[in-house]
Amino acid sequence: MPQISVVVPVFNEEESLPELTQWISRVMNDNGFSYEVLLVNDGSTDHSWQVISGLCKQYPEIKGLNFTRNYGKSAALDAGFKKASGDVIITMDADLQDSPEEIPGLYEMITEQGFDVVSGWKKERHDPISKTIPSRFFNAVTRWISGIQLHDFNCGLKAYKLKVVKNIHVYGEMHRYIPLLAKWNGFGKIGEKVVQHQARKYGYSKFGLERFLNGFLDLISVSFVHRYKKKPMHFFGLLGTLSFFTGFIITCWLIFQKIHGLSKGIEVREIVDQPLFFLALVALIIGVQLFVTGFIAELMTSSQSKEAEYKIDEEINL
């Protein structure tokens, strides 16, 4: 079993891969680490897989996974986590903006300081202001909602204990919130390390400004899923019950008014002629629908499949 597994999602990074793997190899050998590098090709449209295949033949420590199409960074990390076997798992991007020189420090924080997760913090960034300002705002909101005091949730350079990655499932666009997933699964000792951020040397950024909007939506989604995934009836049932009883009480009040008016000889509008009656009717119907939705969600949760959301086309050295 190697000491370190380095998981690298790859999407159209053919130019940077040889330099990255040589850099990782140099750092590992200089520090005497046993290691493996898992390059997960996420449906690249350039020659990234051909480059990975060549590197796997050249270096036995390098292992390659090739997706049938582009599934996203979360799927690539999840596949890498499933195949990784090192005591410490390091994740980094393939674009050379994450420095392998940080690996010894991250490893030491996991093995000697006892952290479950260590997240990199790109304190000095080589990015345009159009990315840095939204990123700071995004991180501030995420800290407030999650309760995890990290400065840079988006940093791809992170370290994990092996048992952490084996007990979480990264899906959708949840790679930003792996520390949050780890915390919810009982791995609460989360640290942070200031890391060097390199200027992009090859290619271009694969992420636009839309990722920040998607990030907020993902945060809401992951918070909701964590709280109600195993008990959806608690959410839908509560709303349904409140809606149904609101409609029921309004209907009873309208009927009482009608009966009371007739008993006193007071002229009262017909119940069905009052707008409030139709609002009550809508509340009753919505209440029933929400309750049924919660019931169906409970059935789906109890029988849901854990099949992977991605397909691997080829593996090398695994």
Same domain, 126 and 253: no
What is the chain's pLDDT, residue by residue, as a tens digit (318 residues)? Answer: 899 999 999 999 999 999 999 999 999 999 999 999 999 999 999 999 999 999 999 989 999 999 999 998 989 999 999 999 999 999 999 988 899 999 999 999 999 999 999 999 887 765 666 566 767 777 787 788 778 888 888 888 999 999 999 998 887 777 888 898 898 888 989 999 999 877 666 666 555 556 556 666 666 766 676 666 667 777 888 888 899 999 999 989 888 888 888 787 777 778 778 888 889 999 999 988 988 887 787 667 555 545 566 778 888 887
- pLDDT the model gives residue 127: 61
Domain boundary among 229, 264, 286: 229
- The letter for the amino acid at 24 is I
Domain boundary among 165, 198, 229: 229
User: And the tokens for 229?
Assistant: 């995934």
- The letter for the amino acid at 299 is L
Same domain, 220 and 169: yes
In a domain, 141, yes or no: yes
Same domain, 56 and 102: yes
In a domain, 161, yes or no: yes
Contact assessment for residue 120 and residue 158, using Cβ atoms and an 8 Å cutoff: yes
Edge-to-edge strands, sheet with 190-194: 190-194, 117-121, 158-161, 88-91, 4-10, 35-41, 62-67, 312-316
- pLDDT the model gives residue 132: 66
Same domain, 33 and 123: yes
Q: Measured in whole angstroms, how far is the alpha carbon of residue 252 from the centre of its chain?
A: 47
Q: Is 72 left (phi over 0), alpha (psi -120 to 50) or beta?
A: left
Cα distance between residue 104 and residue 186, in whole Å: 25
- The letter for the amino acid at 245 is F
Looking up residue 215, the CATH number of its domain turns out to be 3.90.550.10
